[in-house]
Structure 1
C-alpha cells in the first residue's frame, strides 16, 4: 500500500541523473508544488524497508494507512526547521524525542521540507524561461511563414541576400537557445531537479532546430521502463549466480570461480548489450561465510551508505557521491524492491602503486518470500543511453554482484558473496596482475573477510564486559570498560589514516607536495635495496570531522614483492616483540613489553589492539608508548602502530570520553598475498594457517609506510631534506631486516 504522503503512482516517475548531483524525484506537475508530494497535510516519507521488517507485507491490511502528523508536531518541526534546516544526528534524536516520532522520520521530513523550498524558489524562474521558450517558438514559426514569400519566382529558391538574412536570424536563435539552455540547466542543478522535470521546457527550445533536438536527445535521462527492466534483469542474473553450483561455479581452495563457458549459456543478454572491450579481463569469485550479526543488521550496514563506507575502510578509499533513487517496497514485474541506490566510490588496495578503481553502480535491496535478503550491485554505465557516453571512459565494469544473507539465529547469519566484474588489464601494474586475477584484490573473499572483521570488532567494542583473555600483560595498564572503548576507538581511527596513507593516490588536499625517493632496482639478501618510495608532504589529515590542522606531516610509502615468501612468515616476524628492535629504530635494538591487549577476533589468533612499551628507548623519546593493531585474515595481514605520549594515552584511556585530541601518525606494514597461491579459507586457531598457500610458489606483496611530523612545508628547507632522506632510509632498513629474518631469496621493488 503506497503511503498517501508519497507519490500516488504505482509506477513512480524515476529520473536518473548520472552525474554527482543529488537526485530529487518529482511527479510531472505544472508548478512543482511540493504539497502534491506531501499530501493534503504535511506527510512523512517513511522508510518502507523498516515498515516491511516490522510487518509482513502479506499480512498487512490494505486498509491500514500511515498516520499523519498532528498540528502540534508540525509546528514543532517547522519551528526547528527555521532555526536549522540541516540538523545533525544528535539534533535529530533530540527533536524526535521532543516531537514523539522516530529520528528517521525527522530526517525525511527535513529532506522533504528542503526540497519544497528549493522547488518553489525556482518555480518563478522556470515559468519565466517557459514564456521565453514559447516566444522563441512563435518567432521561429513567424520566420517560417516569412520564408514562404521570400523565394525567387523563377527558380523557387531564396536569393543571396535572403540567405544571409536567414543565416543571421538562425545565428541569433542559436545564441538565444544556448543562453536559455544554460540558464535552465543551472536552475535545475541549483534546485537538484532531475532533467525529466523540465523535458517540456526543453522540447519547446529543441523543436526550433532539428540539430539541437538530436543533441538534446543524447543527454536525456534514462526511461523509467528501461531502468526498471535493467534492475530486474540484474536481480534475476544475480539470483541465478548465487543459486546454481556446479557446473556454473568451479570449486577451489580459495573459493569458487566462474565457469565462463557455462555462464555464457545462462547469462541475461539484456545486461550484455555490448562486446567486452579489447584488453578487458574478467574477475568472478564466490565465497560463503558465517558472520556475527543478524540478517537485518548486515543489510543495514550495506544500505546505510556512510556506515558501509566506514565499515570497509580497507577497500572503499573514497565515497564520492550517493543518492537514494527509491526507498520503500516497489513492485517491478515479479520483483519487490525495498531500496534502490546510486553509489560512486573509489576502491583501493593497501599499496601506493595500483590506481584507485572508480565504480559507479546501482545497489538494489530486496527480501525474498522466505525472509532471506538480497543486495545486488550492478554498474550503471551499461544501461542503454549511458554506455555510449561513458562506456569508453570506464576502465571497470561491475556485472551483477552482491550478497545473499540468510539469518541463522543466535546472532549469526550466513552470507554468500559474489563479485563479478570486468576491468582493463593495462590499468593494473604488471606485478599486481596475478594478485588481481586471483580475486584477492577485490574478490568475494576480501569483502567477506572485511565484513567478518568489522562485525566482530564492533561486538568487542560494544560488549559490556571484557572477554576472557582479552586483557593481558603485566597489569601496568588495566583497562576499564571506558578504557577498552577508547582504545578500540583510537585504533579504528589509526587504521583509517593508515589506509589513506597507503592508497593508490595521495589522499591529501590539492597543493601538497608529492615526490619520490631512490631508484627501483633488483635486490637480494646480500644487496642494498633501494625501492622507489612515494613521499607526500602535506597537512595532517587525521583530525576528526575533517578539521584542518596546522601540523605538517611527511608520509613515506613503498611496496616490494617477496616471491616465494609466505605472508604469515613476515607477519609472525613483525609481531615478535623480542625482535622489534631489529627493524624499528625507535626501540634502539631492544624489545617491547605488552602492557594491555584486547583481542578483536577471539577465534583467530593474531587479531588484537595492544599498548606496547619499549624496554629501551632514546632519551628524547622517553615516556612514549606504542598503540598497535595487528590483523590477519584470508585476504591480507596488517601490523600498524603509532607512537603516542604515555601521559596523554593514559589520560584518554582512563578518564576521557573524547579521543579526537590525540594526534595519530600511523606507520606499519600491509602484507598482501601475491595471488600465485590461493589462500585457505578454513578458520584456524593460529595465524600461521590463515594465509597458507597451495604450494611454495605463493609469495607476498609487502607495503611499508612511515609518517613523521616536519616543521616546514618547504622541500628546500634543510630540515625537510634531512627528514626525506631519513624516512627513505628507515623504510629500506626495515625491508632489509625483514628479508634477512624470513630468508627471502629475492625482493623485487615495484
Structure 2
C-alpha cells in the first residue's frame, strides 16, 4: 500500500469544509462530537453591552466591550444543533438565537469557531500520520542502502557491479529508483504541513509483501508478469509486483472524485433499500437482478455517466445475516490487505493508490480511497476483471454503514473491459455481534474472452455476482468465529498458540493457491494441448521468500466439466478414504487423518500417508476444504513432520515453505442441466532449487503427465459409480 498522503489545506478545505451543508453531510463527517474536538465549555466572544445610564445620557462615552460567557445550556443546545447542521443559514441562526437568548451574530461566531477547531484537529491528526510515515521511510531507506552496499559478486566475492548482481538486487535498485520519485512527491506535500523540508528517502513499505490478515495474518502472495525466454512459459513473481500502472489522482481531480463518490453513495443506498419494480427475481438462480429500464428511469446518468458502449450489464443483490460485528466488517472492507484476504478466492490482487480522506479521528466515517484491483474466477479459462475505482465509506444517522465502489475514468487505457457502477454493501448492526449485510454488484463487462465452458456461469452472475461475494463473506466470518473461538475441533494436546499457528499456515496456503490458479494479468499461461484436455502452465521464481521454497516453481492447471453435482464431487475429493483413487503422489497408500479443526463449511485437516516408500514416512499433508453455494475448494500441501510439530507448538508459520495444490469446484451455471460441475485441478512443483536454475522441457512434460493422470483417475472414479458418491455426500 502506498503511504497515506494528505493534500494541501486549500484542497482539504474543498473536500471537507464545503460551503454547502448538503455536500458536507454526504461525506459523512461527524462534526459535533466532544470526543474528537477540544472545545472550551464556555465560548467567549466580544459584544456590545450598553447600560441603562447610556440610554439616559447620550453624551456619555460608551463603556469598553466586555466578554460574554455562554451558559452550559446554551452550549449544549448549539452542540446538538451542530451535529445536525454545521452550516446553519440566517433563518436557522435567528431561530436558534431567539431560543437561547443570544444575538444572531453570537451564534454565527460560535459556529465559525467550532468549524475552525474541527478543521485544526483534523489537520493535526493528518500531520501525525505523515510524520510517522516519513520515519518509516527513512528507516527502510537505510536498510536498503546497507543491503546494496554489502552486495558481493557470487563468483569472486568482491563488490558487485550492476551487471553481476543477483536478480533480486537488480530488482531492488529499480524499485528504489521508482520509490524515490514517489517519496520526493510526498515530501513536497509534507513540507507544507510540517513547516520545514522533509528529507526524501527510499521506501518499500507500500511495495513489500503486506500482511494480509483476518486476525490470522499471513504473508501476501501475488505476482507480476514477465515472459520467459522464447515465450515458452509465462513467469510470475511475488507479491511485490504491482497491478498495471494506474494514475495517482492529481489535485485538480479530487473535487470530481468526491462528487462521484457522493453520487455513488446516494445511488447504492437507494438500491439497497428499494424492491420491485427496480429489482426483479431471477427464476434461474434465485437471485435479484436489476430491471434495466426502471434503473435508467430512477437514476439518470448524470454524475455516474451512461452505460459504456460494447459492454454487457451485470447486476445482482443478495442479503444475509453474518457472524461479525459491523465495526469489524467496516475495518476489513477499508483495509486493502484484510479485504483481499477475506475474499482471496475473488480478489486476486489489490492496491490502494491514494488515501484522500482517512475519516474522522480513526473512524472510517468519511474515508475515501482510490484503489485498483483484479477480480477472478478460480480457473485459467476466465480472464480476470481489472478495475480502477474510488471506495467511499459513510455512517448514516440511523447507525447503518455503507461502503461503495465506483470506477474512475482512465484516459490512458485504450480499451476498458470492465467498469464498476456503484457496487458495495449496506451494513446494519444486530444484537450479539451479528450484522445484516445487503450486497450489490453492478458492473459493465466485455466477457467475450471467457471460455465456452464458463460462459453460462459468468452470464448468470454466479461467477462475479453478489451471491458469490455474500456466500464467501458468510463462510469466512463463520470460519473466523469458529476457529478463533475454539468451539469446534479435535486438536488434541495442542495449545491455543499451536492452534492459531496452524490456522495461519492454512490461510496462507489457500491464498497462495487462489492467487496462482486464476487468469490474472500478473502472469501469462502457456497452453499445452493434448487429446484429452488443455493444460496451462507457468513458472514462478522465488529466492528470498521464506514462505516458498527457493528456485523455479512450475504451476500447472486445467479446467473441465463433469456430469456430477458439485457437492458430490466435493465430498469425494475431500475424503481421505477415497484419496488413493486420484492422488498419484501417495502411491495408493492409506491416508489417515491425524487431527482436524472444523466448522459447518470449513474443515482443516492434518493427514498422514502410510506409503510403502520409506522416504515419505516423515511427510504429512495439510488440507483445508471449504464449501458454500457459489463453489467449493479442496487445497492441500505436503509439510515436513518436524516442521509441523514446531507449528503445533506455537511456532511462526510464515517460515514454513509451502507448495499448495488442489481443486476448485464450481457449478456449471446451467439451470436446465442435471447439476454438473466445473472442476479446476492445479499443481505447484519445485523444479530446481539452484539460484541459476533454468526451466527444462522435461520438467514441463513431467507436470503435464502428472496433471493428465490425475484428471483421468478422477473422471474414472466419479463417472463409473455416481450413485455411490451421492450416498457418500448424504
- Paired position in structure 2 for 1:233: 263
Deviation at 1:608, TM superposition (A): 1.0
For residues 396 and 84 of structure 1, do their structure 2 counterparts lie closer, same or farther at Cα, with a shift above 3 Å needed? closer
- Paired position in structure 1 for 2:436: 414
Quick one: which of 643, 665, 671 aligns to 2:665?
A: 671
CA distance in 2: counterparts of 1:112 and 1:720, whole angstroms = 45
Quick one: which of 490, 499, 515 aligns to 1:471?
A: 490
- Paired position in structure 2 for 1:491: 506
CA distance in 1: counterparts of 2:544 and 2:278, whole angstroms = 45
Instruction: State whether structure 2 residue 711 is matched by structure 1 residue 735.
Output: yes
Contact 1:237-1:268 at 8 Å conserved across structures: no
- Paired position in structure 1 for 2:95: none
Instruction: State whether structure 2 residue 602 is matched by structure 1 residue 610.
Output: no
CA offsets 1:187-238 (integer angstroms, 9 cap, x no match): xxxxx99644xxxxxxxxxxxxxxxxxxxxxxxx4372x4444333222221
CA distance in 2: counterparts of 1:227 and 1:327, whole angstroms = 15
Instruction: State whether structure 2 residue 443 is matched by structure 1 residue 424.
Output: no
CA distance in 1: counterparts of 2:588 and 2:130, whole angstroms = 65
CA offsets 1:172-197 (integer angstroms, 9 cap, x no match): xxxxxxxxxxxxxxxxxxxx99644x
Equivalences for 1:246-395 in 2 at 5 Å? Answer: 246-252=276-282, 253-271=285-303, 273-278=305-310, 280-328=311-359, 338-381=366-409, 389=411, 393-395=415-417
CA distance in 2: counterparts of 1:650 and 1:732, whole angstroms = 34
CA distance in 1: counterparts of 2:543 and 2:681, whole angstroms = 19
Equivalences for 1:513-552 in 2 at 5 Å? Answer: 515-519=526-530, 521=531, 529=532, 531-540=533-542, 543=545, 550-552=550-552
CA distance in 1: counterparts of 2:655 and 2:197, whole angstroms = 44
- Paired position in structure 2 for 1:560: 560
For residues 265 and 506 of structure 1, do their structure 2 counterparts lie closer, same or farther at Cα, with a shift above 3 Å needed? closer
SS at match of 2:589: coil
CA distance in 2: counterparts of 1:713 and 1:721, whole angstroms = 17
Contact 2:384-2:521 at 8 Å conserved across structures: no
- Paired position in structure 2 for 1:451: 473
Contact 1:578-1:590 at 8 Å conserved across structures: no
Quick one: which of 687, 691, 695 aligns to 1:710?
A: 687
Contact 2:348-2:520 at 8 Å conserved across structures: no
CA distance in 2: counterparts of 1:116 and 1:223, whole angstroms = 18
Greater CA drift, 580-589 or 282-291: 580-589
CA distance in 2: counterparts of 1:723 and 1:283, whole angstroms = 41
CA distance in 2: counterparts of 1:297 and 1:223, whole angstroms = 28
CA distance in 1: counterparts of 2:700 and 2:5, whole angstroms = 46
CA distance in 1: counterparts of 2:248 and 2:556, whole angstroms = 44
- Paired position in structure 2 for 1:682: none
SS at match of 1:543: coil
Count of paired positions: 537
SS at match of 1:504: coil
CA distance in 1: counterparts of 2:528 and 2:375, whole angstroms = 26
CA offsets 1:277-314 (integer angstroms, 9 cap, x no match): 12x21110100011111111111111122321222211
- Paired position in structure 1 for 2:228: none
CA offsets 1:637-662 (integer angstroms, 9 cap, x no match): 00000001111111221242x11221
Contact 1:714-1:720 at 8 Å conserved across structures: no
CA distance in 2: counterparts of 1:737 and 1:323, whole angstroms = 49
Quick one: which of 646, 649, 666 aligns to 1:651?
A: 646
CA distance in 1: counterparts of 2:476 and 2:278, whole angstroms = 31
- Paired position in structure 2 for 1:683: none
For residues 661 and 85 of structure 1, do their structure 2 counterparts lie closer, same or farther at Cα, with a shift above 3 Å needed? closer
CA offsets 1:401-457 (integer angstroms, 9 cap, x no match): 110100111010000000001101323233322111111111111111222222223
Contact 2:263-2:304 at 8 Å conserved across structures: no
Quick one: which of 619, 622, 626 aligns to 1:627?
A: 622
For residues 242 and 617 of structure 1, do their structure 2 counterparts lie closer, same or farther at Cα, with a shift above 3 Å needed? farther
CA distance in 2: counterparts of 1:74 and 1:440, whole angstroms = 41
Quick one: which of 613, 627, 631 aligns to 1:636?
A: 631
CA distance in 1: counterparts of 2:463 and 2:543, whole angstroms = 26
RMSD: 4.1
For residues 559 and 572 of structure 1, do their structure 2 counterparts lie closer, same or farther at Cα, with a shift above 3 Å needed? same
SS at match of 1:428: coil
CA offsets 1:229-282 (integer angstroms, 9 cap, x no match): 43332222212211111221122453211222222221232146445312x211
CA distance in 2: counterparts of 1:735 and 1:51, whole angstroms = 63
Question: What is the TM-score of this pair, normalised by structure 2?
Answer: 0.65
Contact 2:369-2:392 at 8 Å conserved across structures: yes
For residues 241 and 318 of structure 1, do their structure 2 counterparts lie closer, same or farther at Cα, with a shift above 3 Å needed? same
CA distance in 1: counterparts of 2:30 and 2:335, whole angstroms = 12
Contact 1:637-1:672 at 8 Å conserved across structures: yes
CA offsets 1:668-700 (integer angstroms, 9 cap, x no match): 1011112113xxxxxxxxxxxxxxxxx644322
Contact 1:366-1:373 at 8 Å conserved across structures: yes
SS at match of 1:410: helix
SS at match of 2:653: coil
For residues 627 and 461 of structure 1, do their structure 2 counterparts lie closer, same or farther at Cα, with a shift above 3 Å needed? same
Which ranges in structure 1 are unaligned for 5 or more consecutive residues? 1-19, 30-46, 89-110, 124-191, 197-220, 331-335, 522-528, 678-694
- Paired position in structure 2 for 1:116: 190
Question: What is the TM-score of this pair, normalised by structure 1?
Answer: 0.64
CA distance in 1: counterparts of 2:34 and 2:318, whole angstroms = 27
CA offsets 1:90-141 (integer angstroms, 9 cap, x no match): xxxxxxxxxxxxxxxxxxxxx9988424888899xxxxxxxxxxxxxxxxxx
CA distance in 1: counterparts of 2:31 and 2:507, whole angstroms = 29
